Amino acid sequence: MSKDKLDIVYEDKEIIVVNKPSKLLTISTENEKEKTLFHKVITYQKKKNKNNKIFIVHRLDKDTSGIVLFAKSEELKRKFQDNWDNLVKVREYVAIVEGKLPKDKGTVRSWLKETKTLLVYSSNRMGDGKEAITHYRKVMGNKQFTMLDILIDTGRKNQIRVHMSDIGCPIVGDKKYNSKTNPIRRMGLHANKLVICHPVTGKEMTFECDIPNSFIKIVE
């Protein structure tokens, strides 16, 4: 997907689900107001009706691609955020990591803290930060790189990136957390699946988007 085109996965009267490209902010920062996914979605909505509104429910890191959910009302946004653990059933990612895993599947659990320089790090001491739980499973790999399916029980800032670095297999292209290589010229993390209970209809809904081709080529 080009950075200018909006890749809509699903839309109804209450929500819109889009596939965010890598290297695009989800929401604005002090330095960047317009080159964001939020700006693209609100522009798309206002073309349909100038009174339309959009509210961010959750976000992905700038360099992570994949599924992001927006609400079309503040009330719905609050419902999602206040009942996140009940309404969001599955958050699945695909990651390309450096090296070979210590084991083909496992769970990383730690407590995450952030430094003044915005670096997140793990503590094994219970309660020493925000609890983070990441489950991983090897899909395929070669001597240099491994593709993983990742499920998260908690959605902490930089959680997957920190946990993969913790087990000695940093995510490709993630220099911040000790990656030494970047053959795909982006970070190897993609949010490919989201399962929610729709807060208005009560229906369970599954949203998926394709794994980037560059991820598959590097481990074939």
Which active-site residues does the annotation give?
Answer: 61
CA atoms of 208 and 18, how far apart (whole Å): 10
165 three-class SS: helix
CA atoms of 216 and 168, how far apart (whole Å): 21
Helical (H) or strand (E) element with 124: none
CA atoms of 106 and 110, how far apart (whole Å): 13
Altogether, the residues listed in the chain come to a count of 220
The CA angle 131-136-141, to the nearest 5 degrees, is 150
CA atoms of 83 and 200, how far apart (whole Å): 13
